[in-house]
Chain A
Amino acid sequence: MTGQIELGLLVAQVQKSFGSHKALKGVDLEVREGEFFTLLGPSGCGKTTLLRIIAGLELPDSGHVFLGGQDITRLPASKRQVNTVFQSYALFPHLNIFENVAFGLKARQIGPAEVRRRVADKLEMLSLDDLGKRYPHQLSGGQKQRVALARALVNEPEVLLLDEPMSALDAHLRAQVQEELRRLQRELKQTFILVTHDQDEAMVVSDRIAVMRDGLIEQVGEAREVYSRPRNQFVAEFLGAANIIQARRDGGQMVTSLGAFDLTAAPAWETGHLAIRPESIQLGEPPADDRNWVRAQVCEAIYRGQSLDVWLSPGFGQDNCRVRVRTNAKNHLRPGDQVSIFFPPEDLVALDHQSDAR
């Protein structure tokens, strides 16, 4: 574990302000060697600033960045074994694709034969073999993106940084590229750090995700962990839909306006919030022991192809449609239907409201 971190990337107490705006407020981060790590957050959360500091394109006001155990905080970008795929790709318009990809190798005075071999290798890896003689303006968005990727990867960086590289692609292509990127990283076993505001993208590609807000990291973990065990309301709501339920601790049980719930682990607080994902709530017939079961009435059912999203009103009124359930699209539910829903204790998460309030 320690060995991995020594070889990987370490960000320690990094702060950065732009005028009076504090972009980063003391960020700590460990990225292990060979992992696909994602910085996820809304725009303005500081994720791109952090990426630029790692790239050497921005100097932190305080704090340090270590790569392979070496302090690189004050090392210029041109001396770092770190390469970036820029958001707009930043391909050199006057150079053809081959020359673009060869740029980093030529700048380091690597011999022409070696340059040719390595560039050809990367062009082939990214299915760009036929495009070497073309110029950037002759390529499609997806092709440009692959060229940008090839141009960075050809240098065999210790860390590859990706600054929202998929934001300019259409949805269909984006899904394809995400999977490709994931496969590429598995093959190369290089460290990738991706910046994105798209939580689906983060979950598709990442080994681990850091969720950022207002210049701080809210939670770091594997996709499954961050999604199903969000630390606070911000993380719960940023990574997809969540039901947030106000609760009071009473002995081992949580008392809410929906009824009393059992949890697998009781929180430290007396009053706070619980979160549960819409797809974790189950529809069915309550057993004899109907703990964590709630009766509810359907307000609205939205068919979404792969699922059916249902808004429910607990109890029998129609005026309180605040429970969102995602269920099998094969179910037929109509407004007014009476249903029973189950809140599995292991899927109910007690949120840390202190970290929300900061």
Chain B
Amino acid sequence: MKMKPAPDEAPGPGLLIWYGNIHRRRDLWWRGSALMGPGLLWLLVFLALPTCGLVILSLAQRGDFGEIHWVWTLNNYQRLLGFGLFGWTPDHIFILGRSLVVGLVTTLICVLLAYPLTFYIATRPPKMRTALLLLLIVPFWTNVVVRTYAWMLLLSPQLPPAKIAAWLGAIPSGSPLFPGSLATYLGLVSTFLPFLALPLYSSVERLNWELLEAARDLYASRWQVFTQAILPQTRPGLTVGVIVTFIPAMAMFVVTDLLGGAKYMLIGNLIQNQFGQSRDWPFGAALCLALMALTMIGLRLYRRWGRS
């Protein structure tokens, strides 16, 4: 039997089949716009417009009382590069560089911890897997500030960690284990480990173990098994994990402020200062854009590595 399409459904230039349904091209366009609209609007209002605002703001000038003078100047960027009233200083560049290093080191430590962790979880029986994943997510239920204060308590002079460190002669007895590098990285890594471990876990869970066996069968060393069989398979999860760890880790200011002390002035702290105590919004905006640029460059480099 021959099926004759009804006249108004006749296949024509205005019609198309999408997932088995026939649509009018124009209706589909409207439907797509309606679905994407709210998200786009959100991004426009809360991301695109504020960013434009930052750009404009960064070209303005702080007045003597913290008010904004709308004069077009590159002063803020010159200051950022170290050219100030009293000649050139590398302070801001140091802070940017330090932020970069702290972000990278935190991400690296998280990666090194997340691989064994996710492999351990993925190889447990299903019930235990769910429980362990839950444990990994639990820290999200408390605020970062609260968790950071918990670290301060834990590292206080009366408790074993500080006592052992004092006994080893690493710190004078009676003093806490913070502020300092150890405390900063403890805080940062414990904050960001779930960010890296969860996306990585989604890749590890779907791992094709036969490829690991094939690599072993073909005389690969443990390192070659990792680089040739594990890394390529887990790269999607690792990429997401690295991005969602590196970007916020670089801009972190709560943890570094509380656990790092003066030595750990990072770009995040600096920006916070400009919008807070210093009331220098234009310079803060310039710093924000510098951080954004740095992040973009980092991602670009990572993408290049990811492709090779």
Interface residues in chain A, defined as those with a beta carbon under 8 Å from any beta carbon in chain B = 55-57, 76-79, 82-84, 86, 88, 90-95, 103-104, 107-108, 151-152, 155
| Residues of chain A within 8 A of B232, CB atoms compared | 92-94
With A57-B217, A78-B216, A78-B220: A92-B210 Cβ-Cβ less than 8 Å = no
How many chain-B residues does the 8 Å CB contact rule pick out? 16
| Nearest CB in chain B to that of A88: its residue | B210
In the complex, which residues 208-260 of chain B have their Cβ closer than 8 Å to any Cβ of chain A? 208, 210-211, 213-221, 224, 228-229, 232
CB atoms of B219 and A92 under 8 A apart: no
CA distance A91 to B220 in the complex (A): 14
CB atoms of A90 and B221 under 8 A apart: no
| Residues of chain B within 8 A of A94, CB atoms compared | 232
| Residues of chain A within 8 A of B220, CB atoms compared | 78, 103, 107
| Residues of chain B within 8 A of A55, CB atoms compared | 217
| Residues of chain B within 8 A of A76, CB atoms compared | 216
| Residues of chain A within 8 A of B229, CB atoms compared | 92
| Nearest CB in chain B to that of A84: its residue | B217
CB atoms of B213 and A90 under 8 A apart: yes
| Residues of chain B within 8 A of A152, CB atoms compared | 217-218
Partner of A78, one of B208, B210, B217, B228: B217
CB atoms of A92 and B211 under 8 A apart: yes
| Nearest CB in chain A to that of B224: its residue | A107
With A93-B232, A94-B232: A103-B216 Cβ-Cβ less than 8 Å = no
Partner of A92, one of B213, B214, B216, B217: B214
| Residues of chain A within 8 A of B221, CB atoms compared | 78, 107
| Residues of chain A within 8 A of B213, CB atoms compared | 57, 77, 84, 86, 90
| Nearest CB in chain B to that of A58: its residue | B213
CB atoms of B219 and A78 under 8 A apart: yes
CA distance A201 to B134 in the complex (A): 49
Closest-CB distance, A106 to chain B (whole angstroms) = 9
CB atoms of B218 and A107 under 8 A apart: yes
Closest-CB distance, B230 to chain A (whole angstroms) = 11
With A92-B228, A92-B229: A155-B219 Cβ-Cβ less than 8 Å = yes
CA distance A91 to B218 in the complex (A): 11
| Residues of chain B within 8 A of A57, CB atoms compared | 213, 216-217
| Residues of chain B within 8 A of A88, CB atoms compared | 210
| Residues of chain B within 8 A of A107, CB atoms compared | 215, 218-221, 224
| Nearest CB in chain A to that of B225: its residue | A78
3 A-B pairs with least C-beta separation? A104-B218, A90-B214, A94-B232
| Residues of chain A within 8 A of B228, CB atoms compared | 92, 95, 103
CA distance A104 to B216 in the complex (A): 9
Offer 24 A-B interface pairs, CB within 8 angstroms, sorted by A: A55-B217, A56-B217, A76-B216, A77-B216, A78-B218, A78-B220, A78-B221, A79-B219, A83-B217, A84-B213, A86-B214, A90-B208, A90-B210, A92-B229, A92-B232, A93-B232, A94-B232, A95-B228, A103-B215, A104-B218, A104-B219, A107-B220, A151-B218, A152-B217
Q: A76, A90, A93: which has the most chain B beta carbons within 10 Å?
A: A90
Closest-CB distance, A95 to chain B (whole angstroms) = 8
CA distance A55 to B219 in the complex (A): 12
Given pairs A57-B217, A107-B218, A155-B218, 19 additional interface contacts (CB within 8 A) = A57-B213, A78-B216, A78-B218, A84-B214, A84-B217, A86-B210, A86-B214, A90-B211, A91-B214, A95-B228, A103-B215, A103-B218, A104-B218, A104-B219, A107-B224, A108-B219, A151-B218, A152-B217, A155-B219
CA distance A88 to B211 in the complex (A): 10
Closest-CB distance, A331 to chain B (whole angstroms) = 44
| Nearest CB in chain A to that of B213: its residue | A57
CB atoms of A83 and B218 under 8 A apart: yes
| Residues of chain B within 8 A of A56, CB atoms compared | 216-217
CA distance A301 to B270 in the complex (A): 92
CA distance A284 to B226 in the complex (A): 68
| Nearest CB in chain A to that of B219: its residue | A107
| Nearest CB in chain A to that of B228: its residue | A92
CA distance A152 to B211 in the complex (A): 14
| Residues of chain A within 8 A of B218, CB atoms compared | 78, 83, 103-104, 107, 151-152, 155
CA distance A83 to B216 in the complex (A): 10
| Nearest CB in chain A to that of B232: its residue | A94
In the complex, which residues 166-210 of chain B have their Cβ closer than 8 Å to any Cβ of chain A? 208, 210
Q: B210, B218, B228: which has the most chain A beta carbons within 10 Å?
A: B218
CA distance A76 to B211 in the complex (A): 16
Closest-CB distance, B80 to chain A (whole angstroms) = 41
With A92-B232, A103-B228: A77-B211 Cβ-Cβ less than 8 Å = no
CA distance A107 to B215 in the complex (A): 9
| Nearest CB in chain B to that of A80: its residue | B217
CA distance A108 to B213 in the complex (A): 16
| Residues of chain B within 8 A of A103, CB atoms compared | 215, 218, 220, 228
In the complex, which residues 78-115 of chain B have their Cβ closer than 8 Å to any Cβ of chain A? none
Closest-CB distance, A137 to chain B (whole angstroms) = 13
| Nearest CB in chain B to that of A95: its residue | B228
Closest-CB distance, B121 to chain A (whole angstroms) = 21
Closest-CB distance, B67 to chain A (whole angstroms) = 57
With A92-B232, A93-B232: A77-B210 Cβ-Cβ less than 8 Å = no
| Residues of chain B within 8 A of A93, CB atoms compared | 232
Closest-CB distance, B306 to chain A (whole angstroms) = 11
| Residues of chain A within 8 A of B217, CB atoms compared | 55-57, 77-78, 82-84, 152
CA distance A291 to B220 in the complex (A): 66
| Residues of chain A within 8 A of B216, CB atoms compared | 56-57, 76-78
| Residues of chain B within 8 A of A84, CB atoms compared | 213-214, 217
Closest-CB distance, B307 to chain A (whole angstroms) = 11
CA distance A199 to B224 in the complex (A): 38
Closest-CB distance, B225 to chain A (whole angstroms) = 9
| Nearest CB in chain A to that of B212: its residue | A90
